[in-house]
Chains A and B, each alone.
Chain A
Amino acid sequence: MMRHLTITVIILLATIMAAEAATVRAVVDRNQAVVGESIRLQLFIEGGDGEADLSGLTDFKILSRGSSSSFQIVNGRTSRQLIHDYVLVPLRAGTLTIPVIPVTVDGKRYTSDPIQITVTPEPPADSGQRDVYVTAQVSEPSPWIGQQVVYTFRLFNAIQVADAKFQAPEFTGFQAEELEDRQSRRTVINGREFVLTEVVFILVPVKTGPLTIESAVLQVGLAQRSRQPRPFAGMDAFFGRSPMTTRVLQTDPITVVVRDLPPRPSGTSFSGLVGVFDMHAAMEKTDLRVGDSTTLAITIDGTGNIMDAAAPAIRVPEAFKTYADNPEETVRKETGGYTGSKIFRTALVPVNAGQYRIEPVALTYFDVNAGAYRTLATPPMDVRVSPSEAPAGDIDLLRRAPGTAASVKKPVEFTGRDILPLKDGLEALNTHRSMSPLWFGLFLLLPALGFFTAITVARMTRKDDTPARTMIDRARQALNAATSPDIPDSDFLSALYRALVSAILGRQGIMGASLNRSEANDHLLQIGWDENAAAAAAALLETIESLNYSGSTLDPNKRLELLAHTRQIVRRLAR
Chain B
Amino acid sequence: MKRLALILLILSCIQVVPIVAAATETARTFMDGTQAYREKDWPAAIGAFEHLAQKGVNNGRLFYNLGNAYLKNDDIGRALLWYERAKKLIPDDPDLQFNYDYALTLIQDEQKQKDSSLPRILFFWKYRLHPPTVRWLAIVLNALLWAALAVLAIRRKHLLRPSIILMASAAMIFSATAVYNFIEAARLRDAIILPATVAVRSGFSDSATQLFVLHAGTKVRVERESDDHLLIRYTEDKIGWIKKDDAGVI
Q: Which of B8-16, B53-61, B119-127 contacts A (4 or more CB under 8 A)?
A: B53-61
Check B57–A431 contact: CB distance below 8 A.
Answer: yes
The size bracket of the interface on A is 35 or more
Interface residues of B in 50-102 (CB under 8 A from A): 52, 56-62, 64-65, 68, 71-72, 89, 95, 98-99, 102
In the complex, which of the residues B98, B154, B175, B179 contacts A420, with contact meaning CB atoms closer than 8 Å? B98
Residues of B within 8 A of A11 (CB): none
CB distance from B234 to the nearest CB of A (A): 13
Q: Is the CB of B65 within 8 A of A422?
A: yes
Q: Which of B72, B135, B150 contacts A454 (CB 8 A)?
A: B150
Contacts of B72 in A (CB 8 A): 419
CB <8 Å contact, A440 and B150:
no
A211 within 8 A of B: no
Once bound together, how far apart are the Cα atoms of A167 and B99, in whole Å? 31
B19 CB → nearest A CB, Å: 13
Residue numbers in A under 8 Å from B239 (CB-CB): 64
A424→B147 CA distance, assembly (Å): 43
Contact B150 A430 (CB under 8 A): no
Q: Is the CB of B58 within 8 A of A419?
A: no
Given contacts A165-B237, A422-B34, contact A54 B203 (CB under 8 A): yes
B102 touches A419 (CB 8 A): yes
Give A72 to B65 CA distance when docked, in angstroms.
Answer: 58
**Residues in A neighbouring B37, C-beta threshold 8 A:** 422
Contact B146 A64 (CB under 8 A): no
Can you name 27 A-B residue pairings with CB atoms under 8 Å?
A: A53-B204, A54-B208, A54-B209, A55-B207, A60-B209, A170-B213, A422-B68, A424-B34, A426-B30, A428-B59, A428-B62, A428-B65, A429-B27, A429-B57, A429-B59, A430-B59, A431-B59, A432-B60, A435-B132, A437-B182, A443-B139, A447-B145, A450-B150, A451-B153, A454-B154, A455-B154, A458-B153
Q: In the assembly, what is the distance between CA of A437 and CA of B185, in Å?
A: 11
8 A-B pairs closest in CB distance:
A428-B61, A447-B146, A55-B205, A423-B61, A419-B99, A451-B146, A447-B143, A420-B95
List 9 other contacts, CB 8 Å, given A422-B37, A443-B139, A447-B147: A55-B204, A421-B95, A429-B52, A429-B59, A432-B58, A434-B89, A435-B135, A437-B182, A446-B143
Q: Across the interface, do A426 and B27 meet the contact criterion of CB distance under 8 Å?
A: yes
Q: Given that A444-B139, A444-B142, A455-B150 are contacting pairs, would A419 and B71 also be in contact in the complex, using a CB cutoff of 8 Å?
A: yes
- Bound-state CA distance A55–B61 (Å) is 44
Bound-complex Cα distance A568 to B17 (A) = 76
Q: Which residues of B contact A183 (CB under 8 A)?
A: none
Report yes or no: B208 in contact with A55, Cβ–Cβ below 8 A: yes
Q: Is A448 an interface residue (CB 8 A)?
A: yes
Interface assignment of B220: CB less than 8 Å from any CB of chain A: no
Interface string of A399-430 (1 = CB under 8 A from B): 00000000000000000011111111111111
- Give a binary string over B166-187; 1 marks a CB under 8 Å from any A CB, 0 the rest: 0000000001001100100000
Interface string of A51-69 (1 = CB under 8 A from B): 0111111101110100000
CA distance A142 to B239 in the complex (A): 37
Contact of A450 among B71, B146, B205 (CB under 8 A): B146
| Partner pick for A440 among B62, B64, B139, B202, CB 8 A cutoff | B139
Bound together, the chains give a CA A447 to CA B179 distance in angstroms of 18
Q: Are A448 and B146 in contact (CB under 8 A)?
A: yes
Bound together, the chains give a CA A64 to CA B153 distance in angstroms of 62
B37 CB to nearest chain A CB (Å): 5
Say if the beta carbon of B44 comes within 8 Å of chain A.
no
Q: Mark B195-207, 1 if CB is under 8 A from A, else 0.
A: 0000000111101
For the complex, give the distance between the alpha carbons of A454 and B151 in Å. Answer: 10
Per the bound structure, the CA–CA distance linking A504 and B37 in Å amounts to: 93
B191 at the interface (CB under 8 A from A): no
Closest to B182 in A: A437
